[in-house]
Amino acid sequence: MRVAVTGGTGFVGSHLVPLLLEGGHELRVVGRGARSATLPAGLSPTFGDVVSGDGLEAAFEGAEVVVNLIAVIRNQGVQTFDSVNAKGTQNLVRAAQAAGVRRVVHLSAIGADPDPMFPYLFSKWQGEQWIQGSGLEWVILRSSVIFGERDGFFSLLAKAISMPAPFLVIPGDGTATFQPIAAEDVARCLLMAVEETDRTGHIYEVGGPDQMTLEEITVAVAEALGKDWFGIAKRRPLHLDPRMIRPAALVMDKLMRNPLVTPQQLDMLAKANVTARDAVKSQFGFEPKPLRPNLGYLRRPKPWPLRLLDQGTARMRPPVSP
């Protein structure tokens, strides 16, 4: 099939694009072109911006299916929840209609909801409304938090854990729940949504096999990094009321390119991010991967000065007597 993947240069896109190519589909990857580095050799992005609508109709010309992976998780300049996730989806739908696209597969988030208390989830819900009202064949997947090479959430957590600090700050009591799902598994579900027409008109919630608290996820990431978590009392979790972290989150949101946490993300910890444990198996017929044994991608080689230091201390160690 001829498939246009909007947001195909992002994290989930980098896992879906190779799968679509393996499936023999003819691809056009659409975006603003800022991150073409994630694309397989020979594929380059076609310009299309959902905020202005520029380039979209031309980019969709000849496509039978559009897979939409575009979203922002924070407001930054003209890229806002409203302009990208909500109105951006409206622009995308209009362009797809004008270009004669038959089917649209849209990636949304668990918790997408008309409650404006949670602006990200509200904007994802608004986006879904445009898809459902498009008059095109549609399928919506709502995912829990996604892990894998190039992810945002788990890589940032790994960075936070790796910082030299006596404690690891966990917002709230750590009981907020998630159901982490592997990016390859989300991509497999999206591929089925593209290819299997009897899925038209369905909203599928997807999550991995384990429902985990924020604290359990933090421990899993720390263990994957080989950090001393419970040993020698070095890295203890410190639970802080989200209201205390909020000022720091506000500053990070304003000043940092990739803030560790934003105020909206702190608010969302109040909402469980889970679905049925067997959601993928029962709806897509395969077992999704668990988080813990699949976090190896977070381990980065140590910088060379530290590697040299390790070699030096190994040489200085006395031989072990039998």
Ligand X SMILES: NC(=O)c1ccc[n+]([C@@H]2O[C@H](COP(=O)([O-])OP(=O)(O)OC[C@H]3O[C@@H](n4cnc5c(N)ncnc54)[C@H](OP(=O)(O)O)[C@@H]3O)[C@@H](O)[C@H]2O)c1
- Binding site residues, ligand X, CB under 6 A: 7, 9-13, 31-35, 48-51, 69-71, 79, 84, 88, 107, 109, 143, 145-146, 152-153
Q: How far is CA 212 from the centre of its chain?
A: 17
Shortest Å distance, C-beta 169 to ligand X:
21
Instruction: Using the minimum distance from each CB to ligand X, give the nearer residue, 153 or 239.
Output: 153
End-to-end alpha carbon distance in the chain? 66
- The Cα–Cα gap between 8 and 208 comes to 22
Among 32, 46, 39, CA closest to 11? 39
Shortest Cβ distance from residue 109 to ligand X (Å)?
4
| Shortest Å distance, C-beta 255 to ligand X | 19
Nearer to ligand X, 10 or 242 (CB): 10
How many whole angstroms separate alpha carbon 172 and alpha carbon 33?
38
Query: Closest residue (Cβ) to ligand X?
Result: 10
Which of 161, 181 has the CB closer to ligand X? 181
**Which CB, 124 or 199, lies closer to ligand X?**
124
Q: CA 221, CA 296: separation in Å to the nearest integer?
A: 9
CA separation for the pair 54, 260 (Å, rounded): 32
CB of 304 to ligand X, least distance (A): 29
From CA 173, how far away is CA 19, in angstroms rounded? 39
Residue carrying structure tokens 């998780």: 73
- Provide the minimum distance between the beta carbon of 122 and ligand X in the complex, in angstroms, as a whole number: 13
Closer of 147 and 229 to ligand X (Cβ): 147
Separation CA 287–CA 182 (nearest Å): 11
